[in-house]
Amino acid sequence: METLYHQTNKQIQEVQSFMGRLENTDRQSVHLLENELQARIDQIFSHLERLEILASKEPPNCRQNAKLRVDQLKYDVQHLQTALRNFQHRRYSRESQDREREELMSRTFTTNDADTSIPIDETLQLNSNLNNAHRGMDDLLGSGSSILTGLRDQRGTLKGSHKKMLDVANMLGLSNTVMRLIEKRATQDKFIMIGGMLLTCVVMFLVVKYLG
């Protein structure tokens, strides 16, 4: 298990390094880098599935620690996956806006008579304002989606960690009072997470309603 664990951890660090290159990669090569990153992330998820099986076969005194280490790797790679999807969403929005701008600039304007004119400058300014508004809304929606995904991932991780803490507590023979305090804290964290998700949904609804 140790060999596979260190190999997977090294792959996560490599993906983190490649993620830093996305913003500076030219448009012709960014697709290749995105595909390579996604392939590496998929391979990491595959290794994590194997690590979960191996962790469950560890001796009882080492099993809890092994599962926590695997959960930490899973948490890291889930955030990398979210970051990659968020970058792709922003790139798609930029490319769409660039295409619309090129179409507008290449459009041929005609007049019916000498007294008819088209306010091209005003049209371009209006289009620029609309693109800025759409870009801001897309970024906000992408951030909201990223936050919701992160909250769902954290919820799963917290639930797993909570169960493991209870198991460890039972093994160590902690008092019932300490156990109740742990459960109370987990319940509070759950309500905070749900409140954050609801607030994000409300903000996204208001943005779509008033800016869409």
Overall number of domains in the chain? 1
Per-residue pLDDT of the chain (212 residues; tens, 9 = 90+): 788 888 988 998 998 888 888 778 777 788 888 889 999 999 999 999 998 888 888 888 888 888 898 898 889 999 989 988 998 888 888 888 888 888 777 765 555 544 444 455 556 666 666 666 666 666 666 666 666 676 666 666 666 666 666 666 565 554 566 666 767 777 777 778 787 778 877 877 776 666 65
Range of the domain at 6: 1-105
Report if residue 128 sits inside a domain.
Answer: no
Nearest to 104 by CA among 92, 96, 112, 93: 96
Calculate the alpha carbon distances from 48 to 55, 78, 138 in Å: 10, 11, 32
User: In the chain, helix, strand, coil percent, each to 5?
Assistant: 90, 0, 10
- Domain of 1, CATH number, reads 1.20.58.400
Nearest to 111 by CA among 102, 100, 120: 120
Q: How far apart are CA 90 and CA 37, in angstroms?
A: 17
Structure token digits, residue 7:
């190999």
- The model scores a pTM over 0.75: no
Report if residue 198 sits inside a domain.
Answer: no
